[in-house]
Amino acid sequence: MKILVSVKRVVDYNVKVRVKSDGSGVDIANVKMSMNPFDEIAVEEAVRLKEKGVVTEVIAVSCGVAQCQETLRTAMAIGADRGILVETNEELQPLAVAKLLKALIEKEQPGLVILGKQAIDDDCNQTGQMLAALADLPQATFASKVEIAGDKVNVTREVDGGLETLALNIPAVITTDLRLNEPRYVTLPNIMKAKKKQLDTFKPEELGVDVAPRIKTLKVSEPPKRGAGVKVPDAATLIDKLKNEAKVI
């Protein structure tokens, strides 16, 4: 059984994001980029399933600019067998990515598709759900445990009231939560091996997908800076400030 794992190239989570002076977007010039942390968890889970012997091949997929090859090489260093890049300079929105992944599902016929639940740049949390709808596949989001049992996959997912376990028929779509696993440290020998692994490149047109943006970003701005806190001598003063200054009670 194959597993398809999507990985996104985002601004590294340690970098303080800066907004462009014209408010048109986020400044990524000379900024360290890396794999979306939730996608790293997805790759790790796919590799662990392969190590258990229930999966035969792990395919990493990325959609975006040519530099996404670096992200795919990282996924292959973790343990993915090969990579696929859908190369485009268009601004890719969740629906476009879901359509591209659907086209690759039809091409590769994987048993499972694992995605990070969201990307840390746009925080949309939409691609996995859109993909499941477009491909007409069962889905389990926010997975904290994944077990394959025959032609079904049991997924424990985090919900507001605790944990919920779902049994899905394969093929299925799964999105990962933080507590699913802790990704392994990528060693230098594996980084060198990843350079020799197969990486195929496609254009959206070759997959028959229109990736033109449906949503227009009008303005991007930083959140307002928080004011300094104040100390109050007693509870009565606190209540007075909350009522008369903050006006929250």
Q: Of the candidates 32, 39, 68, 84, which has an alpha carbon nearest to the alpha carbon of residue 178?
A: 39
**DSSP assignment, residue 88?**
-
Quickly state the pLDDT bin for 30 (edges 50, 70, 90): confident
Is the per-residue pLDDT at 115 higher than 90? Answer: yes
Domain positions in the chain are 2-220
Residue 195 is predicted with a pLDDT of 92
What's the CATH fold of domain 2-220? Answer: Rossmann fold (3.40.50)
Beta-bridge partners for 11: 33
Is the per-residue pLDDT at 20 higher than 90? Answer: no
Q: In degrees, to the nearest 5, what angle opens at C-alpha 157 toward C-alphas 154 and 161?
A: 135
Q: Is 153 helix (H, G, I), strand (E, B) or coil?
A: strand
Say which residue the tokens 């195929």 belong to: 200
Region 58-84: mean pLDDT is 94
Is the per-residue pLDDT at 69 higher than 90? Answer: yes
* Entry pTM: 0.84
Is the per-residue pLDDT at 227 higher than 90? Answer: no
Instruction: Give per-residue pLDDT as tens, 35-65.
Output: 999 999 999 999 999 999 999 999 999 999 9
Per-residue CA distances from 235 to 84, 160, 242 (Å): 60, 32, 11
Say which residue the tokens 């990704």 belong to: 183
Handedness of CA 180, 171, 63, 220 (dihedral sign): negative
Residue 132 is predicted with a pLDDT of 95
